[in-house]
Structure 1
Amino acid sequence: MKQRAKSALVLAACLTAGLWIIYFLTLPFQSTLLPGLGILPRQLQGLDGILFAPLLHAGTGHLISNSLPLLAFAFLVLLEGLRRFGAVLAICWLASGIGVWLFGGGLTIGVSGVVFGLFAYLMVRGFYNRDLMQILLGGALFLIYGSLLWGVLPTAAGVSWQSHLFGAAGGVVAAILLRRPRTGPQTGPENRNGPAGWRTRS
């Protein structure tokens, strides 16, 4: 477990650092890159933004606000393994991007939709996995980061609430699609399930 946590932290840090590297490398070209690779809703030339927009940020403040939650949420999902993280990330990435392209109000960039997706996944996965520890972790994350959920509503000018909303929806979809297969209750000392088949961690 210790080695897995170390690997998860390194990978999450590399992902976050990668966004900073991209930001500084593209900084001199932002006037053309942002409109060229951002999501332009309902325009064919904006479709590629579904893939590239989360990698771009309009300023250091924009990127700073996304970096800490991305690092924390990516680390927690990576504890489940790289393959699962890749699947969750892809679902949140695509859900956020497609939602913005269909329903967004203007040029959209930034990784915040993915951040909301990872957050939503961590919040609800325990209920679909019937895992008490994951439910408790989701509750703790809600207490710490619950104010983020206001971001799914159109409460701030210039902020893509559509990206947040559809990213969060992608996180819920990921939790449903990637839920663990349920097994019936077992008997004997090897049983590690709690009441009614609920899983606990040793």
Structure 2
Amino acid sequence: MNKSDKRKFFYAILFPTIFVVVVWFIKVIELNLNLSFAEYGIRPREWSGLIGILLMPFIHGDFNHLFNNSIPLLILGSSLFYFYRPVAFKVLFWSIIMSGLWTWISARDSYHIGASGLVYSLFGFLFVSGFIRKHYRLVAISFLVAFLYGSMIWGIFPIDYKVSYEGHFWGMFAGVVLAYIYREVGLKKVEYVWTNEDERHEDDPDAYWNKPLNSPPTNRYNSPINTEIQKEREVVYHYKPKQE
């Protein structure tokens, strides 16, 4: 890894790490002050719950909930900033806004907290974006994300009433939408020159394969010869018969 790659990797993990540290810091303050920030989460269809659209990713129920979100935030977030750096901040911002707003509109009447919606959005974006762009490195990341977090798909179904499956679903949906919106930004499939050349019909008289070939003269070994060189090298033998 050269110096440029090291710098790129450093900045790729920097912001996700800062984000996770801030989330943990908020949880520590909450416990030390014996407070509950859950009421600042999303409360669907309540005007006071709109603030939760921005605050939801920073509030968690307990350390187990926080830890389960921290690892994928670091891995998926770093992947986003490393491979999709030009749109990374936009994807993060709109993931929070879109998933939060749709959760506020359609979810159950309860407080919805946690960064799970953001995690699902990152998962959806990284998985779908690689296949849309068809770049071999990004497709590899799509398969890697599916391998590591493919089981997350069950989180979008109403299996556990304590889990905000609505936030998971809308988070993943937001990631897929953003993958399509930003499909033209960043790495894309490599197209070779010959894939764009106009194909000519076999009967095209101007095609090089339909032009007559002027075959050069050949020698007795049936190989082409250069007539000019042949003239220069031509030798005439005069035979003088032996006189009796």
TM-score, normalised via structure 2 length: 0.71
Q: Which has the higher contact order (CA 8 A, sep 6+)?
A: 1
Per the alignment, residue 14 of structure 2 pairs with 10
**Do residues 153 (structure 1) and 163 (structure 2) align?**
no
**CA deviations over 1:131-161 (Å, ceiling 9, x no partner):** 1221121112111211111101111120000
Kindly indicate whether the alpha-carbon contact (under 8 Å) linking 2:80 and 2:122 is maintained by their aligned counterparts in 1: yes
**Do residues 109 (structure 1) and 113 (structure 2) align?**
yes
**2:103 is matched with which residue: 91, 100, 103?**
100
Query: Using a 3 Å threshold, how does the CA distance of structure 1 residues 183 and 82 change in structure 2: closer, same or farther?
Result: closer
**Do residues 80 (structure 1) and 86 (structure 2) align?**
no
Matched residue type, 2:114: G
Q: Is 100-109 or 69-78 further displaced after alignment?
A: 100-109
> Of the two, which has the highest radius of gyration?
2
Matched residue type, 2:193: T
Per the alignment, residue 94 of structure 2 pairs with 91
Three-state SS of the structure 2 residue aligned to 1:64 is helix
Per the alignment, residue 26 of structure 1 pairs with 30
**Do residues 39 (structure 1) and 42 (structure 2) align?**
yes
Per the alignment, residue 182 of structure 2 pairs with 178
**2:67 is matched with which residue: 58, 64, 67?**
64
Matched residue type, 1:54: P
**CA deviations over 1:64-105 (Å, ceiling 9, x no partner):** 110000000000001135551111111211121112111111
Kindly indicate whether the alpha-carbon contact (under 8 Å) linking 2:131 and 2:142 is maintained by their aligned counterparts in 1: no
Per the alignment, residue 187 of structure 1 pairs with 193
**CA deviations over 1:102-146 (Å, ceiling 9, x no partner):** 111111011100000001111010122221221121112111211
Q: How many residues align?
A: 188
**2:141 is matched with which residue: 137, 140, 159?**
137
Query: Using a 3 Å threshold, how does the CA distance of structure 1 residues 142 and 81 change in structure 2: closer, same or farther?
Result: closer
Matched residue type, 1:30: L
Matched residue type, 1:21: F
Q: Is 177-186 or 75-84 further displaced after alignment?
A: 177-186
Report the alpha carbon displacement of residue 30 of structure 1 after superposing the two structures with TM: 3.2
TM-score, normalised via structure 1 length: 0.86
Matched residue type, 1:65: N
Kindly indicate whether the alpha-carbon contact (under 8 Å) linking 1:95 and 1:169 is maintained by their aligned counterparts in 2: no
Q: Percent identity, aligned pairs only?
A: 29
CA distance in 2, matches of 1:16, 1:183: 33
Stretches of structure 1 lacking an aligned partner (at least 5 in a row) = 189-194, 197-202
